[in-house]
Structure 1
Amino acid sequence: MWIQVLLYITILLVKIVEVTLATTRIVLITRGERLKGAFIGFFEVCIWVVLVSTVLKDISSDPIKVFVYALGFALGNFLGSVFEEKLAIGTTRVEVIVKETDGIELINRIREHGYAVTSISGEGMNSKRTVLIMHVKRKMASKLIRLIHQYQENVVITVNEIKPVYGGFGTLKK
């Protein structure tokens, strides 16, 4: 009985690890980190083959293994996305729209903290606006947003994930 429970726990935990690796691999590959993604993929598939053979072995007499496997898959997706968010691999584009009169001051404050900022003049519904564009590592995006809110409360901020950036201040890729 305890051996069977231990088997279920092992299937659950190994499946969670395998799916977390899969999530990380997919993110790495889409962010241009192909070699790292391939490396993780090797171990992911090794784990998968061993795990599936364990689950399928004598499955008709122990269908609970399928339920545990599926639960591990679901939990692995959730935990994999949480893990990927903590890793924060990649680059984001942060755009900030402010009143034209507030733009220069905010640009200077942001630059004082080491961020590169590009500004574009624009027209809003009722007044002239300044659009600030920054490319930052995902790990730094929330810090940048908090910084912006310290100096300007009434702003529009959008954050988009982007592929690697080539060239410019603080070049991420060459």
Structure 2
Amino acid sequence: MIYLFIVFAKVIEVSMATVRMVLITKGERKIGAIIAFFEVSLWVVLVSTVLDNIMENPLKIVAYALGFSVGNYLGSWIEEKIGIGLAEMQVILKDEHGEPVVKALRDKGYAVTVLKGEGKFHPRYVLLMYVQRKKIKECANLIKSVQDNAVITVSDKKAVYGGYGVVRK
């Protein structure tokens, strides 16, 4: 029973830590601080439980390590589903696909800045966009539905100020 408590508590604690770190890096300090309070409270209880008679019960170490491992996985999954913040997407398209992709994106409400580029052999469209992180896959799938081999790069952004469709508190 104690092993299940250790695994479960560690999964919760590490998941909270993962989400807290992302929130803080995205500028959500207040929520991050609240999560930190509960995270460290749980950690103190957990560590005192694990260290109590650890030499007589070394399986506590295994339970703690298992909880840590699963907590990392679960925390990153939760953070991805929450998808707080914005990402910058850069897209390079064949010239003939440029206008149809831009139209499709704008019809779905995405703000798109278009630059004309030059590839090795042909002209290219270069699209610059700031997209909510939770909509990255949807946006990429929309682009790929028009040009399946478009070059798409995604970079995480801490903050974006101004621009169409971009709101920052």
Give 1:3's aligned residue: none
Once the two structures are TM-superposed, the CA of residue 154 in structure 1 deviates from its matched residue by 3.3
Distance in 1 between the 2:18 and 2:150 partners?
34
Give 2:143's aligned residue: 148
Distance in 1 between the 2:137 and 2:86 partners?
12
The TM-score with structure 2 as length reference comes to: 0.94
Distance in 2 between the 1:94 and 1:46 partners?
39
Preserved CA contact (<8 Å) 2:130 2:166: no
- The equivalences for 1:25-174 within 5 A come to 25-174=20-169
Question: 5+ unaligned residues in a row in structure 1: which ranges?
Answer: 1-5
SS at match of 2:161: coil
Identity across the alignment (%): 50
Once the two structures are TM-superposed, the CA of residue 105 in structure 1 deviates from its matched residue by 2.6
Alignment length (residue pairs): 169
Once the two structures are TM-superposed, the CA of residue 99 in structure 1 deviates from its matched residue by 2.0
SS at match of 2:27: coil
Distance in 1 between the 2:5 and 2:167 partners?
40
Tell whether 2:15 aligns with 1:20: yes
The TM-score with structure 1 as length reference comes to: 0.92
SS at match of 1:148: helix
Once the two structures are TM-superposed, the CA of residue 11 in structure 1 deviates from its matched residue by 0.7
SS at match of 1:59: coil
Preserved CA contact (<8 Å) 1:19 1:73: yes
Distance in 2 between the 1:18 and 1:56 partners?
17
User: Match of 1:173, as an amino acid?
Assistant: R
Q: CA-atom RMSD, angstroms?
A: 1.2
Distance in 2 between the 1:125 and 1:67 partners?
55
Deviations 1:65-100 (A, max 9, x none): 112111111111111111111211221111111123
